[in-house]
Amino acid sequence: MNPLFSEQGRNYKSMSKTDPGSITLFLSGDVMTSRGIDQVLPHSVDPILHERYVKNAKQYVQLAEKENGSIPEEVSYQYIWGEALDELNSYQPDIRIINLETAVTTSDASWKNKHIHYRMHPKNVALLTTANIDICVLGNNHVLDWEYDGLKETLNTLQQAGLKTAGAGLDAESASQPAVLSTDEGRILVFSYGALTAGIPMSWQADAEQPGVHFLPHIGGNSAKKVISDIQQYRQKGDRVIVSIHWGSNWGYGIPKRQKAFARRLIDSGKADLIHGHSSHHRKGIEVYKGKLILYGCGDLINDYEGISGHEKFHDDLTLLYFPKLDEDGELLSLRMSPMQIHRFQLRKAPPGEVKWLTGVMNDQCRQFGHSVSQTSDGQLELHWE
C-alpha cells in the first residue's frame, strides 16, 4: 500500500442480512445538480451561462415548467430527491455512491473553449448529505468546468461536508487514490477514472504539479494494466473493489467491444469486483461476468433536462436507483433497481406504464449477455442471470 495513503472517515454499521458477510450498495449514474436545479435550491450561483443557445440557467427552469408544470421558486433539499429517499430508507444500503457531475463552487472562471459548464453553490452541498451520500466519484467531464480554483473549492467543500471523493485531486497522486470506507463486513475501495471517450479534455489530466482528473487516454490493454496496478497498491485481503469509469458517448444503447473487453479484463485480474460505468444519459445493458457485476451505463439520476427536445426516444427522464448485493468475495448475489422519473426537478416513482416500458428496454439490452430483467410485485426491477 502507498505509505502516503491513510484511510480516514466514518465506519459504517451494516444492515442485518440473511447472507453472512454480504453488503448492499447504492449506485447511481450522473448527478447533475447545476443550472436549473441550482437555481431553485436555497442558495444559487450567478445564473449567467456561456452556452451556445442558453445564456441564463433560469431558462432551464422555464423549460421544465413548460413541460410539466410549475416548480416552487425555492425548494428544499428533500424536494429534489423526492420519493427516492423512501427507496433509500427501504433498502438501507451500507454505502451510497454517486457520480457527481457538477463542480461545487462559486468560481466565475469558466474553462475556455468548453461549451457547457456545470456548477452548484457550495452551500447546496446539503443536497448530497440529505440523501446520506458517502462517496462522490469525480472522474468526469464537468468537475473542472470552473478551472482549477473551482476544482479546489469542490474538493474542499465535499471534504468539509464529510463526503469522500475519488477520481480528481490536487495532483496525480491524490487524484489516483481510492475512496475507502469500512463496514462491519470489510472495506470497500472505490477507484474513479475519466476517459477521453467521455469528452474529457486531455489537459484535465492531473500530474505531479497540476490538479485534475484521474485520466484514461484509451480504453485498452495498457490502460487496463494501469488500473490493475493502481488497485494492487491499495487492495488488502477481504477488500471489495469498485472501479467507477466515466466513458463513452451520451446517447445510444450500443456498448463498444473495447469497453466489454476492458471491463472483463479488470475482473479476470481478480482485482476488481464491480464495474460502475456512466456517461450515457440513459440506462444501458448490464452484464454479470464470472459472477461480478458490470454496469456499462447507469444513465442520469438528477438533471435539468425536462423540456429539452431531441432524444425523447430514450426516455432520459426515467432513472434507476441500483442496489447490488455482493457476497464476501465480491460476487453478485442480487441486483434490484428502483425505477424513478424526473418530474418538475423531483424524483418520483415511475408510473406503471413507464415501468413496463423500462422493463422491456432493459430486457432488450441485457439479452445480449444472456440475462433478463423482470418487474417484481412491488414495482422494482430485478436482474436474472445464470
Q: What is the pLDDT of residue 224?
A: 97
Distance in angstroms (rounded) separating the CA atoms of residues 199 and 105: 21
Torsion sign across C-alpha atoms 35, 39, 40, 43: positive
pLDDT tens for residues 96-114?
999 999 999 999 999 999 9
In this structure, are residues 218 and 160 in contact, taking their beta carbons and an 8 Å threshold?
Answer: no
pLDDT tens for residues 353-380?
999 999 999 999 999 999 999 999 999 9
Q: What is the pLDDT of residue 183?
A: 93
Q: What is the pLDDT of residue 333?
A: 98
DSSP H or E segment with residue 359: helix 352-366
pLDDT tens for residues 136-153?
999 999 999 999 999 999
* Res. 11: pLDDT tops 50: no
Distance in angstroms (rounded) separating the CA atoms of residues 382 and 66: 34
Q: Considering the chain, what percentage of its residues have pLDDT values greater than 70?
A: 95
* Res. 1: pLDDT tops 90: no
Distance in angstroms (rounded) separating the CA atoms of residues 355 and 76: 27
Angle, CA of 316, 248 and 141, to the nearest 5°: 85
Q: What is the pLDDT of residue 374?
A: 97
At residue 197, what are phi and psi to the nearest 5 degrees? -65, -15
Amino acid letter at 244? Answer: S
pLDDT tens for residues 156-168?
999 999 999 999 9
Cell reading at 94: 451500507
Q: How many CA atoms lie within 13 A of 93 on its CB side?
A: 29
* Residue 133 burial (10 A CB sphere; 0-12, 13-18, 19+): buried
The DSSP symbol for 92 reads -
* Res. 61: pLDDT tops 70: yes
Dihedral angle at the C-alpha atoms of 143, 149, 150, 156, nearest 10 degrees? 90
Q: How far is CA 285 from CA 306, 369, 383, in A?
A: 24, 8, 11
Residue carrying C-alpha cell 438533471: 303
pLDDT tens for residues 197-217?
999 999 999 999 999 999 999
* Res. 8: pLDDT tops 90: no
Amino acid letter at 61? Answer: V
At residue 82, what are phi and psi to the nearest 5 degrees? 50, -130
Q: How far is CA 109 from CA 145, 171, 202, 365, in A?
A: 9, 20, 19, 41
Distance in angstroms (rounded) separating the CA atoms of residues 121 and 57: 13
pLDDT tens for residues 218-262?
999 899 999 999 999 999 999 999 999 999 999 999 999 999 999
Q: What is the pLDDT of residue 4?
A: 32
pLDDT tens for residues 267-301?
999 999 999 999 999 999 999 999 999 999 999 99
DSSP H or E segment with residue 130: helix 126-130
Residue carrying C-alpha cell 447545476: 34
Q: What is the pLDDT of residue 6?
A: 33
Dihedral angle at the C-alpha atoms of 132, 317, 311, 248, nearest 10 degrees? 20
Q: What is the pLDDT of residue 19?
A: 83
Beta strands in 79-235 (DSSP E): 95-100, 103-104, 119-120, 135-137, 164-166, 168-169, 179-183, 186-195, 212-213, 215-216
